Amino acid sequence: MKAFTIDGDNGIPIYGSRKDAVEAADKRKGADVFATEDQLAGALAEKTTADLVEIFNAFTGVREVTKFTSRAVAVGRIWRECLKMQVEVKPVDREIEVEVPVQELKTAKAKAPLAPKAASAPTAGSGPREGGKLAIVLDMIRRPEGATLEEIMKSQDWQIHTTRTLMSAGGAYAKKYGIVVISENVGDKRTYRVGA
């Protein structure tokens, strides 16, 4: 059963199971886990009406709103959009073992087929692949002024929740490469930059 988290940045990533969502929430201190509309209502209880509008408008393909008629309507519409989200399936890296009779092995020199090996995960400090999307965004947030959420979304044609998840404490920069990303509001813009 899929589950979700929501934190102070109002991003809502999806997970394949409640266990995965709880593990992610533990890494992102202050994140709430939910898997039902009632749980979502509880997670949104402390959010302002402006937050609810921002959360809803971050979903892909929705007609943006400026307000909701009630908190219950907001929760219901956000929940329906959550249900449309899909969990990203990651390839499994494993070898396939096939028993080959000894006699057949001697005559045909058969070999067991192997699944293609996935690239090994980079170690902390190695950095993203040169020329890749993560490397391009990393160059943007390494600038002294950093990069705004909108600049990053526009440069990679990403959705708001994808960008926020990447920049979070549980995102790829922190988990895979050990890079600390600082998120702050500069004026009315969310800005990201690499920490010292």
Where residue 153 sits, what CATH number does that domain have?
1.10.10
Q: How confident is the model at residue 66, as a pLDDT?
A: 93
Angstrom distance (rounded) from CA 122 to CA 172: 11
The residue type found at 57 is N
Q: For 102-111, what is each residue's pLDDT tens digit?
A: 554 455 555 5
Q: How confident is the model at residue 2, as a pLDDT?
A: 86
Overall pTM > 0.85: no
Q: How confident is the model at residue 97, as a pLDDT?
A: 62
* Tokens linked to 92: 């499994």
Q: Cα torsion for 34, 159, 9, 74, to the nearest 10°?
A: -60
Q: How confident is the model at residue 67, as a pLDDT?
A: 93
Residue 47 lies in a domain: yes
Residue 44 lies in a domain: yes
CB 139 within 8 A of CB 173: no
In a structure prediction context, what are the per-residue pLDDT tens digits for the chain, which is 196 residues long? 788 888 777 888 888 888 888 888 888 777 888 999 999 999 888 889 999 999 898 888 888 999 999 999 999 999 999 888 887 765 665 666 656 555 544 555 555 566 555 544 545 456 777 878 888 888 888 888 888 888 888 888 888 888 787 777 667 777 777 778 888 887 888 888 887 6
Final residue in a domain of this structure, among 22, 51, 84: 84
Q: How many CB atoms lie within 10 A of CB 35?
A: 16
Angstrom distance (rounded) from CA 78 to CA 54: 10
The half-sphere exposure of 191 on its side-chain side, counting CA atoms within 13 A, is: 15
Residue 113 lies in a domain: no
Residue 143 lies in a domain: yes
User: Are 75 and 137 in a shared domain?
Assistant: no
Q: How confident is the model at residue 102, as a pLDDT?
A: 54
Q: For 156-170, what is each residue's pLDDT tens digit?
A: 888 888 878 777 766
Number of domains in the chain: 2
188 burial class (0-12, 13-18, 19+ CB within 10 angstroms)? exposed
In Å, the largest CA–CA distance within the chain is 76
Radius of gyration (C-alpha) of the chain in whole angstroms: 21
Alpha helices by DSSP H, listed for 58-91, are: 71-84
Residue 29 lies in a domain: yes
Q: How confident is the model at residue 105, as a pLDDT?
A: 46
CB 4 within 8 A of CB 21: yes
Domain ranges, residue 139: 133-194
